């Protein structure tokens, strides 16, 4: 068992720098496309044998130091009795956006073992196969709320901010329900065998710091507090585009803070104090010529040398257009430059 990744999460010294990539399983891999050609994305998420297969693909191909469960942050939202569809090229769609108290009242806080048994079964199958740690995950409440309120992806988040500012009680009622669901969901993943848990807060970067503090942060903290009472697996909090929020993200109670590429990793580490840090290569930097990509990775490893613990990652999910060969070059460079035997 290679647990370098878990050591880094805990801020322990590691023999070399562990690396995994957000969205490491996915469309940039022909092997994924082949499986995905047979089933829809949601069917793939709900079939443990297939979800296991695509989770393992990037680990086997590139030697990543951690695996991340193949699923989606919106799976537990569908389990709250919302209709969810994924449309080619348009991403996720909730046909009935949640914008009224009636709609919030209709949301069910599911029991994970009953509502999403396939996720827990995938975790159990993966633990039998893997020689590196398995990361479970969930969306953080604000990010999930944007999908429910907007009915899908968004650019300006008009409906979300309108609800926050004009109907704060409705907004907070919705957030409380999403938080209860997410808390139970992550605890169930840990019970099933997930060895670390990442909260993806993909859209908090659109919030003013004062609004983050009032409308997002308390719910993240509450989930982490619940987790601390029931499990000791390391917790990673990724606040995408969150450089302006670090004064607050350092208080949510996570072990590891994930960073996008807008802040140099050394500065991120300095701001993160006792936390380990994870990140933060621009996913598009994977398009650099080999030599320049290697230089960039070398510079990041040097910049992060004073971090309490460092996990190399991208600053956001890998793009479907990425050549797999470039991923191989990057992982190999992280390992070689950081002294993997």
Ligand X SMILES: Cc1c2[nH]c(c1CCC(=O)O)Cc1[nH]c(c(CCC(=O)O)c1C)Cc1[nH]c(c(CCC(=O)O)c1C)Cc1[nH]c(c(C)c1CCC(=O)O)C2
- Map the footprint of ligand X across residues 201-220, applying CB under 6 A: 202
Catalytic one of 27, 127, 271, 296 = 27
Residue nearest to ligand X (CB): 202
* CB-count burial class (<10 Å; 0-12, 13-18, 19+) for 324: middle
- Tell me whether residue 23 is annotated as binding: yes
In the chain, where do the E strands start and end? 67-68, 84-87, 91-94, 134-139, 196-201, 235-239, 256-258, 276-281, 310-314
Residue nearer to ligand X on the CB measure, 72 or 121 = 72
Q: Are 34 and 329 in contact (CB under 8 A)?
A: no
Q: How far is the CB of 73 from ligand X (least distance, A)?
A: 4
13 is catalytic: no
Per-residue binding string, ligand X, 163-182, x by CB under 6 A, is --------------------
Q: Using an 8 Å Cβ cutoff, are 141 and 216 in contact?
A: yes
Contact call for residue 287 and ligand X (CB under 6 A): no
CB distance 40 to 333 below 8 Å: no
8 Å CB contact between 204 and 139: no
Separation CA 3–CA 7 (nearest Å): 6
Hey, which residues between 109 and 138 contact ligand X (CB under 6 A)?
137
Q: Which residues share a beta bridge with 280? A: 313
Residue 311 has φ and ψ, to the nearest 5°, of -120, 120
Residue closer to ligand X (CB basis): 122 or 240: 240
| 255: annotated active-site residue | no
Out of 3, 16, 23, 32, which one is annotated catalytic? 23
For ligand X, give the closer residue by CB, 140 or 276: 140
- List the one residue from 35, 51, 68, 265 that touches ligand X (CB under 6 A): 68
Name which position in 9, 25, 204, 235 contacts ligand X (CB under 6 A). 25
Helix and strand tally (H, E) in the chain? 17, 9
Active site residue 201: no
Residues contributing to the annotated binding site for substrate: 23-27, 72, 147, 202, 316
Q: Which residues make up the interface to ligand X (CB under 6 A)? A: 22-27, 36, 41, 68, 70-74, 86, 91-92, 137, 153, 200, 202, 240, 317
Active-site positions read 23, 27, 36, 72, 147
């Amino acid at each position: 068992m290679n647990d370098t990744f878990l050591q880094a999460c805990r801020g322990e010294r590691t023999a070399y720098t562990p690396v995994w990539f957000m969205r490491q399983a996915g469309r940039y891999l022909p092997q994924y496309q082949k499986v995905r050609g047979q089933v829809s994305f949601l069917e793939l998420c709900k079939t443990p044998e297939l979800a296991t297969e695509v989770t393992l693909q990037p680990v086997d191909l590139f030697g990543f130091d951690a695996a991340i469960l193949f699923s989606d942050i919106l799976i537990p939202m569908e389990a709250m009795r919302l209709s969810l569809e994924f449309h080619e090229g348009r991403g996720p769609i909730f046909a009935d956006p949640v914008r009224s108290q009636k709609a919030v009242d209709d949301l069910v806080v599911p029991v994970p073992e009953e509502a999403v048994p396939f996720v827990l079964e995938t975790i159990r199958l993966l633990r039998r196969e893997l020689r590196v740690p398995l990361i479970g995950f969930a969306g953080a409440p604000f990010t999930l709320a944007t999908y429910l309120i907007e009915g899908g992806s968004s650019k300006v988040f008009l409906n979300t901010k309108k609800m926050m500012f004009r109907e704060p009680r409705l907004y907070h009622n919705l957030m409380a329900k999403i938080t209860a669901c997410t808390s139970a969901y992550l605890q169930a993943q840990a019970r099933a065998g997930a060895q670390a848990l990442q909260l993806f807060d993909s859209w908090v970067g659109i919030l003013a710091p004062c609004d983050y503090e009032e409308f997002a942060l308390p719910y993240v903290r509450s989930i982490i507090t619940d987790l601390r009472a029931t499990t000791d697996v390391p917790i990673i909090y990724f606040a995408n585009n969150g450089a302006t929020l670090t004064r607050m993200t350092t208080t949510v109670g996570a072990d590891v803070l994930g960073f996008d590429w807008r802040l140099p990793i050394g500065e991120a580490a300095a701001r993160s104090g006792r936390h380990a840090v994870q990140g933060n290569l621009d996913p598009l930097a994977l398009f650099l010529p080999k030599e320049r990509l290697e230089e960039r990775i070398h510079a990041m490893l040097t910049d992060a040398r004073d971090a309490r613990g460092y996990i190399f990652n991208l600053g956001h999910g890998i793009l479907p257009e990425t050549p797999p060969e470039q991923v191989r070059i990057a992982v190999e460079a992280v390992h070689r430059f950081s002294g993997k035997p």
